[in-house]
Structure 1
Amino acid sequence: MSNKQYQAYQNNAVNTASGGELTLMLYNGCIKFIKQASKNIQNGEFEQKNTNIQKAQNIIQELMITLDQKIAISQQILPLYEYMHYQLKEANIKNDPAILDEVLGLTVEFRDTWKQVIIKNRQTTYKQGAQV
């Protein structure tokens, strides 16, 4: 698959994804950028580290903005997102991979939980569809 074909595939995947799948993509992207930033620190690639941390921060900001404040659990999630965003800034300033590891762990937990929500919703939808 050429780079152009891959890009078209990715664009199509984003365009056809549901809201839940888009959130999952955001978590996966954030994980990827945090891991890359950690490698950048180890390799002394500070400009790339900065870019990758900023990409991860942008994703966290997007998750904060799109959080539905009408849902009670959002009041518990928002402070965690704010903490993660702050810690990314600290990791960027201090070039500290340990801070990145902490944020990575939280992001993985959010992603895995979100994945379970999507699976449960699909099962519920499938069962309801089978009963019709």
Structure 2
Amino acid sequence: MNKNGYQQYKEQSVNTMTKGEMLLLLYDELLKRLMRAELALGKEDYETFTNSVIRCRDIVCYLRDCLDPQYAISSELRRMYEFFLYEFGRLEAGRNKEIIQEVRPLVTELRETFQEADKIAQY
């Protein structure tokens, strides 16, 4: 498959995803970037670390900006996302792996919650 064909396939896949699938994809990417940041710290690859943290921040900002204020859960999620952003700032400034180890389980739990909600919504 050529590069242009692959790009078209990726775009079509994203365009046909449900909102739940897209949300899970964003959380998966967030978890992947946290792992990449942690590995980069271990290798003292600070450029990859910084890029990964920036991408984490971008994903969380996107999630926060997409919240619909008409739902009560949105204010709770907004506070959680603001906490993540604060922690990512601390992470980037201090290069402390423990922050990743504290945030990752929270992100994982949110992802699993949304996965369950998506399953329920499909029935």
Shared fold (TM-score, shorter chain, > 0.5): yes
Larger Rg: 1
Q: 1:92 Cα deviation (Å)?
A: 1.0
Q: Which runs of 5 or more structure 1 residues have no equivalent in the other structure?
A: 124-132
Cα deviations across residues 60-118 of structure 1 (Å, max 9, x unaligned)?
A: 00000001111011111111110011101111111111101222111111110000011
- Indicate whether 1:75 and 2:75 are aligned: yes
Match of 1:36 in 2: 36
Note the 1:49-88 alignment, pairs <5 A: 49-88=49-88
Note the 1:1-132 alignment, pairs <5 A: 6-123=6-123
Q: What amino acid sits opposite 1:18 in the alignment? A: T
TM-score by length of 2: 0.91
Cα RMSD between the aligned structures? 1.6
Q: What amino acid sits opposite 1:17 in the alignment? A: M
Q: Which moved more, 1:17-26 or 1:35-44?
A: 17-26
User: Number of paired residues?
Assistant: 123
TM-score by length of 1: 0.86
Q: 1:9 Cα deviation (Å)?
A: 3.4
Instruction: Tell me the distance in 2 between the aligned counterparts of 1:41 and 1:4.
Output: 34
Instruction: Report the identity percentage.
Output: 26
Q: Which runs of 5 or more structure 2 residues have no equivalent in the other structure?
A: none
* 1:105–1:7 CA distance, 2 compared to 1 (3 A): farther
